[in-house]
Amino acid sequence: MTTKFTPDHEYIRVEGSTGTVGITSYAQEQLGDIVFVELPEVGKVLKKGDEAAVVESVKAASEIYAPVSGTVTAVNDALNGEPGMVNADPEAGGWMFKIEVSEPGELDKLLDADGYAELTV
């Protein structure tokens, strides 16, 4: 299992050919209280960089982009009732969707934990 990051503050935790996507702790802190999360539909085919989800804070809406290309296989429906989970537990309970990775080579171009940490100092 390995976790990669985008410069837009998404993470993707890869197990086999499936990645679990959410936003980093740094991102949730920047956004503030999340009040609504719009998730993609299961089965949706995304290209790397496509808008995949939207998180709404009290003040503004922010797009969440697909870190890699693939097909959405599951979404975290718990966020519909409890969007604040993105703040409280962004990298576990606050995950947003799972994606079946279609271009594994794209993962290599993402940041590793150290590279991402450098971005957010």
What residues make contact with other proteins under the rule CB under 8 A?
Answer: 32-33, 35-36, 38, 54, 56-61
Cβ 62 to other proteins shortest distance, Å: 12
Cβ 56 to other proteins shortest distance, Å: 5
- Nearer to other proteins by Cβ, of 18 and 25: the residue is 25
- Nearer to other proteins by Cβ, of 72 and 101: the residue is 72
Q: How many Å apart are CA 52 and CA 11, to the nearest integer?
A: 13
- Nearer to other proteins by Cβ, of 33 and 103: the residue is 33
Cβ 84 to other proteins shortest distance, Å: 9
CB-CB contact of 54 with 37 (8 Å): yes
